[in-house]
Chains A and B, each alone.
Chain A
Amino acid sequence: MEHIKTLNNPNLKETAEKGGCGECQASCQSACKTSCTVANQQCEK
Chain B
Amino acid sequence: MAYENLIHKYSLNGYNIVLDVCSGAVHIFDDISYKLLDYITTLPMSEECPEDIVNNMKEYPKENVESAYKEVLSLYKQGSLFSEDTYGAFADKMVMSPVKAMCLHIAHDCNLRCGYCFAAQGDFGGERCLMPFEVGKKAIDFLIKNSYGRRNLELDFFGGEPLMNFDVVKQIVEYARSIEKQHNKNFRFTLTTNGLLLNDENIDYINREMSNIVLSIDGRKSVNDRLRYRVNGSGCYDSIVDKYKKLVDRRGHDQYYVRGTFTKYNLDFAEDVLHLNELGFDQISVEPVVTDSTLDYALTQADIPQIYAEYERLAKIIIEKKKNNESINFFHFKIDLDQGPCAIKRLRGCGAGNEYVAVTPNGDIYPCHQFVGMDEWKMGSVMTDELNLTMKSKFAASNVYTKEKCRNCWARFYCSGGCNANNLQYAGDILEPYEIACDLEKKRIECSIMIKAALA
Contacts and interface: CB of A to CB of B under 8 A. Distances in A.
A39 B97 CA distance: 20
Nearest to B64: A3
B263 interface: no
Give the interface SS of chain B, mostly helix, strand, loop or mixed: mixed
A16 B341 contact: no
A42 B449 CA distance: 16
B25 interface: yes
A36 B22 contact: no
Nearest to A39: B414
B27 A36 contact: no
Contact of A19 (B25, B342, B448): B342
Interface residues of A, number: 42
B49 to A, nearest CB: 13
B278 to A, nearest CB: 20
A28 to B, nearest CB: 7
B380 interface: no
27 contacts: A1-B71, A2-B67, A3-B67, A3-B71, A7-B26, A8-B338, A10-B25, A10-B80, A11-B25, A13-B83, A15-B342, A19-B345, A20-B90, A26-B100, A26-B154, A26-B351, A28-B368, A28-B419, A30-B257, A31-B259, A33-B192, A34-B261, A35-B288, A35-B418, A38-B414, A39-B335, A40-B448
Given A10-B24, A28-B368, A39-B337, 19 more contacts: A3-B32, A4-B29, A6-B75, A6-B80, A11-B23, A11-B25, A12-B346, A13-B23, A13-B83, A19-B342, A19-B345, A22-B100, A26-B154, A31-B259, A31-B285, A36-B417, A37-B349, A37-B444, A39-B415
Interface of A: 1-13, 15-16, 18-44
Interface of B: 17, 20, 22-30, 32-33, 67-68, 71-72, 74-75, 78-80, 83, 86-87, 90, 97-98, 100-101, 103, 118, 150-152, 154, 156, 158, 190, 192, 212, 214, 257, 259, 261, 285, 287-290, 331-332, 334-346, 349-351, 355-356, 368-370, 413-420, 422, 437, 441, 444-445, 448-449, 452-453, 456
